[in-house]
Amino acid sequence: MRTTFYIQIRISIRSLAMFLIKTWRSMAFGLYGYTNFTKSGFLEHAKKFEPEDMQARIEGKNCIITGANSGIGYATAEGLASRGATVYMVCRDKERGEAAFSRIQAVTGNKNIHLEVCDISSISDIKSFASRFSSKDVPVHILVNNAGLLENKRIITSEGYEMNFAVNVLGTYTMTELMLPLMEKAAPDARVITVSSGGMYTAPLTEDLQFNGKNFDGVEQYARNKRIQVVLTEKWAEMYKDRGIGFYSMHPGWAETPGVAKSMPGFSNALSGKLRTSEEGADTVIWLALQPKENLTSGGFYFDRAEAPKHLPFTATKVSASSERHYYEIVVDLPCRRRRSSIERRPLALRDRTGALLCTVAAWGPNRLLRDFYVFGGFREVGVVAVVTMVVGAGGGGGGSVVYWC
């Protein structure tokens, strides 16, 4: 009885501590956000902006922008198009995409604008887009991962993923990975800009990527997703530091966009007149696209044209580098696990009439070999340590196989 009592006390103390930490996170975020993320915050920070930072021309640069038909994505597309860029607007809805495409062409006079229809919630759709786009054989100088979603109801995609996670995390991850070969052609000036959110200040990393708990909370899931985007950016910067590609995440501030009005009507109404415009929200995205890379920190998190902290004080959202690596591996391994059984049923075979070759490959990192096979449909890069054992068969018609331990 005494043991049970002590266990209950410990559970109660732990629950109280978690409640207090979560409450403090919300309070700290609200206070910091109201001071900095609103329109008044932008106007205050803008006093330190350098006008010449936004005057660069980028003719000849190819820019891909996801979620480009409205809000911050639209403002980014218009801003880059007005500076001479060749802009590829990636939109889910063809009709709305065409309307946005026509408006930007009319406003900027730029004829080098293209509409690409792709549903970022679908890995297969992103792969189809990447295949089509790769056939153009053009370098990609700037990729803006702007497409985002805050869905308050739990919805599962046709591929089996929670909808917010599918768009915000898997969509961002898959699009970036598939564009890397084309971005390497634009090195050393290529860059990936991911539109995250200050909401990530309220979210620690968690293994529950798809929010399988009983009480689904779309706002909390969105915040978790945005935290993961920052971690993805950090890891890409580490992994591809010698490829001539810069990786940056950013917070646009609290902007009045169609997405915010739809997903958080209470928040939007409460701060009516205090929210930023879409153009103000897109300002740092455009700034990151125009700045010389030597002035930026790859892997950094930016807000209002300056590098910003990734954690607020005393909010218990910071973890060790090894823990971040662990969460990163969980993210990139998820699609692999869903495909692993079918891949294992159809192993690649190496056949030689003189005998059999058994090749055991131990993957280094987050199932990197299997991931590359799944995402790219082939081996773009093999970051593995391989141990090869030659087994010579007695007969002339021996067969072999490749075994992947993942």
SS3 373: helix
Q: CB neighbours (10 Å) of residue 116?
A: 17
Annotated catalytic residue, options 201, 222, 240, 248: 222
Residue 353 half-sphere exposure toward CB, CA atoms < 13 A? 0
Q: Give CA–CA dist 198/400, Å, rounded.
A: 52
DSSP E strand stretches across 47-85: 62-66
Instruction: Check if the beta carbon of residue 200 is closer than 8 Å to that of residue 230.
Output: yes
SS3 90: strand
Task: Please give the angle made by the CA atoms of 93, 94 and 99, to the nearest 5 degrees.
Answer: 105
Query: Quick one: CA torsion of 288, 68, 281, 306, rounded to 10 degrees?
Result: -10
Domain boundaries, the chain: 18-315, 339-405
Q: Is 222 marked active-site? A: yes
- Tens digit of pLDDT per residue, the chain (406 long)? 556 656 666 666 667 666 777 887 888 889 999 999 999 999 999 999 999 999 999 999 999 999 999 999 999 999 999 999 999 999 999 999 999 999 999 999 999 999 999 999 999 999 999 999 999 999 999 999 999 999 999 999 999 999 999 999 999 999 999 999 999 999 999 999 999 999 999 999 988 999 997 799 999 999 999 999 999 999 999 999 999 999 999 999 999 999 999 999 999 999 999 999 999 999 999 999 999 999 999 999 999 999 999 999 888 888 888 888 888 898 888 877 665 444 443 333 333 333 333 333 333 333 444 444 444 443 333 333 333 333 333 333 333 333 333 3
Q: Give CA–CA dist 201/69, Å, rounded.
A: 27
Residue 308, CA distances (Å) to 261, 305, 311, 312, 366 in order: 26, 9, 9, 10, 28
Fold classification of 18-315 (topology level): Rossmann fold (3.40.50)
Instruction: Check if the beta carbon of residue 234 is closer than 8 Å to that of residue 219.
Output: no
For residue 217, the one-letter residue type is D
Instruction: Check if the beta carbon of residue 167 is closer than 8 Å to that of residue 134.
Output: no
Tell if the pTM clears 0.85, that is, is over it. no
Q: Give CA–CA dist 360/244, Å, rounded.
A: 32
Alpha-carbon Rg for the chain in angstroms: 23
Q: Give CA–CA dist 256/63, Å, rounded.
A: 24
Task: Please give the angle made by the CA atoms of 193, 196 and 200, to the nearest 5 degrees.
Answer: 150
Find out whether the peptide bond into 181 is cis, omega within 30 degrees of 0.
no
What is the DSSP annotation of 156-213? B-TTS-BHHHIIIIIIHHHHHHHHHHHHHTTTTSEEEEEE--GGGGG----S-TT--S
Chain-centre distance for alpha carbon 105: 28
**Helices 172-184, 321-345: inter-axial angle, 10-degree rounding:** 90
Residues making up the chain, counted from first to last: 406
